[in-house]
Structure 1
Amino acid sequence: MTPADAPAVHLSGLRLDRGGRTILRGIDLTVPRGSITAVLGPSGSGKSTLLAALTGELPPAAGTVEVFGQPVPHGSRALLEMRKGIGVLLQGNGLLTDLTTAENVALPLRTHTKLPEALIRRLVDLKLNAVGLRAAADAYPRELSGGMARRVALARALALDPPLMLYDEPLTGLDPIASGVIMSLIQRLNDTLGLTSIIVSHHVHETLPITDQAVVIANGGLVFSGTPAELDATSDPLVRQFLRGEPDGPIAFDTVKRGEAA
């Protein structure tokens, strides 16, 4: 298989460790190009750790991580080049408070390209228009609502036209209306720009309607992989516990085992 035919992401036998502790093990996952994949699971299950492996922030303890047919590199220069092709929307937006909306979106273009200023301004205009915030170009982050700030962060993540988008809990802190706007925007941008998107979330009901593939991470591994319809129909007790939000079941709520001192 050539890189042109390869899936957007391919994980094989992946094990991820942090601080001498194994967080995830035995992860096998393929993300087709052009798809939207939801990575679901309880808080602390390792979802964000998985994203860290995709961006090269956390090297695998075992197994392989490939993005568009190429192993994630280890060298700093090669890693920086690869990251230009990956857009990341962080939980906290990461907007710089002393820069305007337009200046925040322009930052990756000014940092990673030598484009003339007039072209950068035009590209920023296009990105803000894509998220419906062209009129807010001169506003500062403190003047924006939570949903608007999230859309600015999305525009900035798209600044370099990355073919792969990673969303780390994109609905954190948003009300139901703003959440609906963000999910609809993710789907529309994925379709119109030909992106591949991976959404890490514990907001099951808001995320599943726009996804092609869903995976569930719990108890240190991948416990489900399939379509949203297959997820809804599964009888697996571990997955059902997560979907129903039940405190008792195979997924331990406490980090300390019952019977041990806290």
Structure 2
Amino acid sequence: MTTEPPIVRLTDLRLDRGGRSVLRGINLSVPRGSIVAVLGPSGSGKSTLLSALTGELAPAAGTVEVFGQKVPQDQRELLELRKGIGVLLQGNGLLTDLTAAENVALPLRAHTRLPKALIQRLVLMKLHAVGLHAAADAFPRELSGGMARRVALARALALDPPLMIYDEPLTGLDPIASGVVMSLVRRLNDTLGLTSIVVTHHVHETLPVADHAIVIANGGIVFSGTPGELERSQDPLVRQFLLGEPDGPIGFDAAPRTTTEAA
């Protein structure tokens, strides 16, 4: 019986920004069908890692493989790869002069030649999947923060990508909306057969839906294991992060950050 290769594999990865190393020695395999939480304090390099997964940032050393192939440098090949990756941005990125349905339709109009009627049908299916079928004609300004986040999620799912990446999906959401979004992440992952990477610092909202968790701090991975193992960890660095303690082995803002450095 052959073992299916991971959908994402990072090997001895080093990522540099602004002339300095942000992350180094990163090794990670993401099995198909799983939800992996990438946790860490602000400025730890979580979004820098995301940039490497989507091909925006080339490795300084090591390799990034997605769907069994190295992330290409050629722009045309990279565009094809990105069609298989859905990204939910922390700022939603919705166009304010378009309705919810029109926002969700954007990737379908840009990357397919499907007839208008079929695109409209697919858009309504995606909105229904996130519980917003009735909000198709609403503009972003008419939506709550949680609803806008779900419209952005429907848009990220428009091309049926096998891999979903969530960049701080709970930013600006209240506890109820956060619970709805994370429950939706789990349900969509299971019902659509997705693989999901959730990049976040919201530990307690994310761990209940995750299969695996890693913690990034001080330039590398300081923990990798199940959510239960993370919560039981007695490592001082991990405990500091989980408990939100200001003093400990994790240095906060120890070095000036460049304007391009991600959170």
When normalised by structure 2's length, the TM-score is 0.95
Structure 2: distance between partners of 1:104 and 1:254: 37
Structure 1: distance between partners of 2:74 and 2:238: 38
State whether structure 2 residue 131 is matched by structure 1 residue 168.
Answer: no
Structure 2: distance between partners of 1:67 and 1:253: 31
110-119 or 247-256, which deviates more: 247-256
Structure 1: distance between partners of 2:22 and 2:51: 12
Structure 2: distance between partners of 1:227 and 1:6: 20
Structure 2: distance between partners of 1:43 and 1:61: 22
Task: Give the CA deviation at 1:68.
Answer: 1.6
Structure 2: distance between partners of 1:142 and 1:238: 41
Task: Give the CA deviation at 1:195.
Answer: 0.2
| Equivalent in the alignment of 1:232 | 231
Shift >3 Å, 4+ stretches: none
Structure 2: distance between partners of 1:220 and 1:256: 12
Task: Please give the secondary structure, in 1, of the residue aligned with 2:93.
Answer: coil
1:89-125 CA distance string (max 9 Å, x none): 0000000001110000000000000011110000001
| Equivalent in the alignment of 1:260 | none
Task: Give the CA deviation at 1:6.
Answer: 1.4
Matched residues, percent identical? 80
| Equivalent in the alignment of 1:207 | 206
Task: Give the CA deviation at 1:256.
Answer: 4.9
Task: Give the CA deviation at 1:19.
Answer: 1.4
Structure 1: distance between partners of 2:32 and 2:129: 21
Task: Give the CA deviation at 1:194.
Answer: 0.3
Task: Give the CA deviation at 1:255.
Answer: 2.2
| Equivalent in the alignment of 2:68 | 69
Q: CA RMSD in A?
A: 1.2
| Equivalent in the alignment of 2:13 | 14
Residues 130 and 150 of structure 2 are in contact (CA less than 8 Å); yes or no, is this contact kept in structure 1?
yes
| Equivalent in the alignment of 1:218 | 217
| Equivalent in the alignment of 2:39 | 40
Structure 2: distance between partners of 1:256 and 1:201: 21
| Equivalent in the alignment of 2:196 | 197
Residues 43 and 253 of structure 2 are in contact (CA less than 8 Å); yes or no, is this contact kept in structure 1?
no
Structure 2: distance between partners of 1:167 and 1:222: 19
Task: Give the CA deviation at 1:223.
Answer: 0.4
Count of equivalent residues: 255
| Equivalent in the alignment of 2:261 | none
When normalised by structure 1's length, the TM-score is 0.96
Structure 2 residue runs of 5 or longer lacking an equivalent are 257-263
One-letter amino acid of the counterpart of residue 127, structure 2: L
Structure 1: distance between partners of 2:116 and 2:72: 31
Structure 2: distance between partners of 1:190 and 1:160: 15
| Equivalent in the alignment of 1:5 | 4
Q: Which has the higher contact order (CA 8 A, sep 6+)?
A: 2
Residues 105 and 155 of structure 2 are in contact (CA less than 8 Å); yes or no, is this contact kept in structure 1?
yes
Task: Give the CA deviation at 1:254.
Answer: 3.4
